[in-house]
Chains A and B, each alone.
Chain A
Amino acid sequence: KQEVTQIPAALSVPEGENLVLNCSFTDSAIYNLQWFRQDPGKGLTSLLLIQSSQREQTSGRLNASLDKSSGRSTLYIAASQPGDSATYLCGRGSEKLVFGKGTKLTVNP
């Protein structure tokens, strides 16, 4: 059974800092990995999708990598801002996704 783990569970950083969020999964099957942002009481906003054949995706200050051999994905956020404060979830699967519990990020002004 696919399991997805996210570390750390919570992270608090000062504004402007670069940071890395981690996502690990238990299988090396050909699945997508998708990073989302969730604000309190809200749905999920897709940030980056890494298809199984890809190793990396970038969007603005965000960069996500995928290493299937080690079962890991990282989300790199550059020059963090208070508006980046949210819970970040990674989901793995072909269509239906298995999610980690998320990393709650707080960026302090």
Chain B
Amino acid sequence: GAVVSQHPSWVICKSGTSVKIECRSLDFQATTMFWYRQFPKQSLMLMATSNEGSKATYEQGVEKDKFLINHASLTLSTLTVTSAHPEDSSFYICSANRDRGTREQYFGPGTRLTVT
């Protein structure tokens, strides 16, 4: 079946630094990918829609200059958390749609970010 991978699976960084998270579709091309954030015991909240070859679309309240998204190819989207703060610590998950007909979403395994 469709597989979406993320790298790294977990990362610890210091406040003020930047960290990049990769999301790859392994056996299909994805013109659109989605980035979600999940805080402990909370649901997933959509952060932004990553569009191949164009600018990402951010949800209300998500700072586009802080969460940089680049979708440079049909199989790779990256999320860069810039000038990270402890409150950015969260579980970041991406998803992609393999089947344009059904639009079924396939999710990556997630990246646990801890900012110290």
Which residues from chain A sit less than 8 Å from chain B, CB to CB? Answer: 4, 32, 34, 36, 41-46, 49, 51, 89, 91, 94-102
Contacts and interface: CB of A to CB of B under 8 A. Distances in A.
Given A41-B112, A97-B46, A101-B43, A36 B107 contact: yes
Nearest to B45: A99
Contact of A34 (B34, B49, B105, B109): B105
A96 B112 CA distance: 21
Interface in B71-112: 91, 93, 95, 97, 102-110, 112
A32 B105 CA distance: 10
Nearest to B46: A96
B59 to A, nearest CB: 9
Interface string B51-74: 000000000000000000000000
Interface residues of B, number: 23
B104 A32 contact: yes
Across the A-B interface, the 5 shortest Cβ-Cβ residue pairs? A44-B107, A43-B109, A43-B110, A99-B43, A101-B43
A74 B6 CA distance: 30
A24 B49 CA distance: 24
Contacts of A97: 34, 44, 46, 95, 105
A102 B43 contact: yes
21 contacts: A32-B104, A34-B105, A36-B107, A41-B91, A43-B93, A43-B107, A43-B108, A44-B93, A46-B105, A46-B107, A89-B44, A91-B44, A91-B105, A95-B103, A95-B105, A96-B49, A97-B34, A97-B105, A99-B44, A99-B45, A102-B43
B32 interface: yes
B28 to A, nearest CB: 14
Contacts of A46: 104-107
A99 B104 CA distance: 14
